[in-house]
Amino acid sequence: MGDHVSAVNNGLGYRPELSRSLLWTMSLASAVAVANLYYNQPMLADMMRTFHASAHGIGLVATFTQVGYALGMPVFIPLGDFIERRRLITALLLVVTGSLVYAASSRNLISIIVASFLIGFTTVAAQIMIPLAAEMVPAEDQGRTIGAILSAILLGILLARTLSGMVAHYLGWRAMYWIAAALALLFAILLHVQLPAVPAQATMRYRDLMHSIWRLVVEVPKLRQVSLVAAMFFAAFSVFWTTLVFFLETPPHHYGSQAAGLFGLVGATGAAVAPIAGRHSDRRSPRSVVLIALFVALAAYGMFWGFGLRLWGLLAGVILLDAGVQAAQVANQSRVLSLRPDARNRVNAVYMIAYFSGGSLGSLVGAWAWGQWRWHGVCATGIGFLLVALIAFFARGPEAQMQAAGSI
């Protein structure tokens, strides 16, 4: 592993320097890890038929995946400040391998919901790698580095839908979970070999470390504000992607899981904004990136509502939505990781708990809105979440002491 790292002083002691090849490996591993959360979305209709479930019932598969992720983060991410990161990341990837095998073997709706919860609960390795990568580069390169990993993560999210849609169409939805388990095992091995040993930052006990998370919530108001904005972004994102497969099966589209997956491929073009957003965050203002992203995401839902019955309208909306959400995620995560350099994993835990709680809320409310009002309800729900984000963004308090175009 000596060709991957060299020692530098980052202000918190000597740490390995992030090489290009290691950044690639971490980015791909993060993409593969987070993809586990999204394989199910294009396959929900197929699962619904397998288990003879309702749309709301099968929607719990997507909801509990996000709930598991939100609950797993406060358990595992603080350990990144507490124990050596290579061991932690490798162990998490091995455990999620077992969770994916359980999903592939599920025989009823309750079983697949429990398996989905466990997948979410144990697939948090990417959220340990992001602050680790930020720790291994100079402060002026953090936005670009975070942007690179988040770009890979978004591609993983979107291409996961494409892959799972294709696999479900040709091999059945269970095969996708077996493939995902093999990928998780592969990257557990690769990262165990390539990652450097980076010692923990914290010297306190784990119980005190957990308590310190809630102190951060109370003591850092900007963390609360940015986390709420990010949660509403991801809620709006999940509303669309959870219900898309149901919409595509209705007139005039009459498509199935394969087509729903291919929409993920279209949305992957939005990942191109991540490096741009990262550079803009480094050079100018992450806050301005978030504001632009809000209006881009609102424009996406305008396309869905006004032109969703036309294929071109859906395609344009997917590109806009994914570009807006990706840009906001890069900028928001850059903001929170700059708040407390001595507690990056804990700050990131608070942020990502809020983020994926928003995602689980979006999946739950989106499936309910589809059952009640179909596509009009879905679009209204997505716009509602984005308006909450807009109100929170302009709320006075956390940023009142900052300049209008402040650095964070």
Model confidence over 86-140: pLDDT tens digits?
Answer: 899 999 999 999 999 999 999 999 999 999 999 999 998 988 888 788 778 877 7
3-state SS of the chain is: CCCCCCEEECCCCEEECCCHHHHHHHHHHHHHHHHCCCCCHHHHHHHHHHHCCCHHHHHHHHHHHHHHHHHHHHHHHHHHHCCCHHHHHHHHHHHHHHHHHHHHCCCCHHHHHHHHHHHHHHCCCHHHHHHHHHHCCCHHHHHHHHHHHHHHHHHHHHHHHHHHHHHHHHCCHHHHHHHHHHHHHHHHHHHHHHCCCCCCCCCCCHHHHHHHHHHHHHHCHHHHHHHHHHHHHHHHHHHHHHHHHHHHCCCCCCCCHHHHHHHHHHHHHHHHHHHHHHHHHHHCCHHHHHHHHHHHHHHHHHHHHHHCCCHHHHHHHHHHHHHHHHHHHHHHHHHHHCCCHHHHHHHHHHHHHHHHHHHHHHHHHHHHHHHHHHHHHHHHHHHHHHHHHHHHHHCCCCCCCCCCCCCC
The pLDDT of residue 7 is 45
Residues of the chain short of pLDDT 50, as ranges, are 1-14, 398-408
- Residue 101: the pLDDT is 97
- Of 1.20.1250.20, 3.40.50.2030, 2.115.10.20, 3.30.300.30, the CATH number of 12-394 is 1.20.1250.20
- The domain segmentation of the chain, as residue ranges, is 12-394
Contacts of 136 (CB under 8 A, 6+ apart): 5, 8, 10, 15, 16, 17, 18, 198
| pLDDT at residue 15, rounded to an integer | 55
Residue at 311: amino acid letter: L
Q: Which pair of tokens denotes residue 372? A: 């009640």
* Predicted local distance difference test score (pLDDT) of residue 348: 80
pLDDT of residue 275: 66
Tokens standing for 133? Answer: 């990568």
Nearest to 38 by CA among 314, 335, 245: 245
pLDDT in tens, 50-68: 998 887 788 899 889 988 9
